Amino acid sequence: MKTAVQKFGKFLSAMVMPNIGAFIAWGFITALFIEAGWFPNERIASIQTPMLTYLLPILIAYQGGKMVGGDRGGVIGAIATLGVIAGTDSVMLIGGMAMGPFAGFVIKKFDKAVEGKIPAGFEMLINNFSVGIIGMILAIFGYYVIGPVMSAILTFLSGGVAILIENRLLPLVAIFIEPAKVLFLNNAINHGIFTPIGTEQALETGRSIMYMIEANPGPGLGVLLAYMAFAKDRATKTSAPGAVIIHLFGGIHEIYFPYILMNPIILIAPICASVVTIFFYSLMGAGLVSPASPGSIIAFLAVAPKGEQLIVLAGVLIATVISFLVASPIVKMAGAKNLDDATAQMKNMKAEAKGMAAPAGDVKVSGEIKKIVFSCDAGMGSSAMGATKFRNRIKPLNLGITVINTSVDNVPNDADIVVCQEVLQERAKASAPQAQLITIANFLQDPNLDALYQSLAEKANGTSAPEQTQAKEETKQEVKAEPAKQMVIVKEGIKTGLASVTKEEAIDAAGKLLCQLGYVNESYIPAMQERERTVSTYMGLGVAIPHGTSEAKGEVKKTGIVMLQYPEGVSFGEEKAYLVFGIAGIGDEHLDLLAKIGGIIEEEAQLEKLKTTTDPEEILKMFS
């Protein structure tokens, strides 16, 4: 139940967090240019209403749709949400949160239904018309159904808050908010619940106390100051001043969560502080004009109404003092608790809040480990390269561990450890519930893989990991000793010096080259895009290996790999790929070359040569 709530809350906040800059822009326009602002300007203030009515809900809907249905999901989510906005007089932030993901889900299901059935040459026509027609239908549905329903829900929530305020009961909300924050529901509460309600209030009164409840840095600051003054553990005491700066000025409230987890009873301090401060703000009629995110004192004061900065600051100081006074005796009486253990506990809780497995660095392998399985969606490319690299890496440990790769849905039941990307973990759990699950961001270079290796090394010799240079040398020798059994990369399949493009265009180019060389049918290309939408094929070290889904293996005519070099890089999410290897494999025929690729890119000089050379012959020699 807790995990489900955390995952839902994380999903809500994930729709809002990328768009906080837009909320800040709207907040500044409100604070500066409305009639009661610092620099009243009727023309500039006129920007405020369309931003709030249209821009913010549509941005939220686009993000929610994209999270579920990729770029097409984002577009159709925005279209459908316009119907929701038009169907009510309320600000439809909550409507965007509902309609965006729903529309993304609908288009994702449509794309799945027509996958492989679109005649060649009609892909663009069907893709565009499907978004347009389905988007129109969903916009009409949003106008007549979703808009009025969301408006009723928002009216109910706002009415409930109004009752709490009128009866001086709003401070009691802190009893639930502060513990929820430590369970990593802080962003979900602030942006998934308080922001929609606060925005509705701010539209009517120009401010809202709802923006102040979770974001106030005072309660956490008092806890940190108590540890700074009275902690018995030296490491904890010396770490607290840095945490104070990050918390107060950086607005990263999660920095104080481990200090509470060391002594959970200390949670009383921020609860008491928050109760008193909310009562003070209610009494003074205080509020902010827009969300303060992150919860920095700078952001908190920046979005305060004109002339009310002192009231807002006073509330922060009251919360800090009360939290400090309540926390101090608890810290004094507590034993010398270890901050590292509390931080590790926090990481595990944060992983749960994201619906993830615990990070490998916080999990020690136990018992007999005989088989480690690297799994990806199709079990064809990413996991194959990752398994090969890790197999070579642990070989010097002489643990007798088998390292293989499979599709995430076909993990053998004798697997002891399963390594997969974060978005595939639920499928991995269902496929191999008996195995320890370790999630990673990419297969070639990931801290969790390093932590897994370290844990295995300690298991092997009882102390610490052997020098990596030895493992690296053996890897290189093994690659030289075992050349690829079959040349599945040819000169015509190597393109260098390409201009930077989007990720989708790079994948499309790799697929078309595979098709031109007779490795795959043309219908394999959409499957490559679908695979990327499911989980990224970025491997690390500036390398991506796009390939089709497991369902598209029938579209492969013969095994082949192509390489596209982008000197300026192609953005794969937050990372850039400079080498894009398009892969098509029948059976295990491509695994030898994947192993070869892994061995080459592990050597920094050779990897740099692959990224910069303009001579395809030189690249072919590296793979010979």
Longest Cα pair distance anywhere in the chain, in angstroms?
A: 79
- For residue 595, give the amino acid letter: A
Region of 70 please: left (phi>0), alpha (psi -120 to 50) or beta.
left
Task: Decide if 339 contacts 233 (C-beta within 8 A).
Answer: yes
Q: Is 518 left (phi over 0), alpha (psi -120 to 50) or beta?
A: left
Calculate the dihedral angle through the C-alpha atoms of 213, 251, 254, 193, rounding to the nearest 10 degrees.
Answer: 40
Total Cβ atoms within 10 A of residue 121: 8
- In sequence order, the β-bridge partners of residue 402 are 371
CA–CA separation, 511 vs 100, rounded Å? 30
Query: In 249-382, which ranges are E strands?
Result: 371-376
Residues 214/177, Cβ–Cβ less than 8 Å: yes
CA distance 317 to 410: 57
Distant-in-sequence contacts of 303-311, Cβ < 8 A, 24+ apart: 303/24, 303/27, 303/28, 303/31, 303/211, 304/31, 305/31, 305/36, 305/206, 305/207, 306/31, 306/36, 306/37, 306/38, 311/281, 311/284, 311/286
The helix/strand/coil state of 240 is helix
- Strands 436-440 and 560-572, by their bridges, are unpaired
- One-letter amino acid at 578 equals Y
Contact 115/527 with Cβ under 8 angstroms?
A: yes
Bridge partner list, 279? none
Spell out the SS3 assignment of 412-441: CCCCCEEEEEHHHHHHHHHHCCCCEEEEEC
Contact between 581 and 562 under an 8 Å Cβ cutoff? The reply is yes
AA letter at 169: L
| Helix/strand/coil for 486 | coil
Q: Which candidate, 214, 217, 220, 219, places its Cα nearest to that of 291?
A: 214
Sheet with 538-540, edge to edge strand ranges: 494-495, 560-572, 575-584, 543-544, 538-540
Pairing of strands 538-540, 543-544: antiparallel
Catalytic residues, by residue number, are 376, 547
Return the SS3 of 182.
helix
Q: Indicate the pairing of strand 402-407 with strand 494-495.
A: unpaired
Distance, C-alpha 609 to centroid of its chain = 32
CB 449 within 8 A of CB 374: no
Instruction: Assign 3-state DSSP to the chain and report helix, strand, coil percentages, each to 5.
Output: 65, 10, 25
Phi and psi dihedrals of 582, rounded to 5?
-80, 130
For CA atoms 99, 100, 102, 108, the dihedral sign is: positive
Name the residue among 306, 278, 308, 303 with its Cα closest to residue 289. Answer: 303
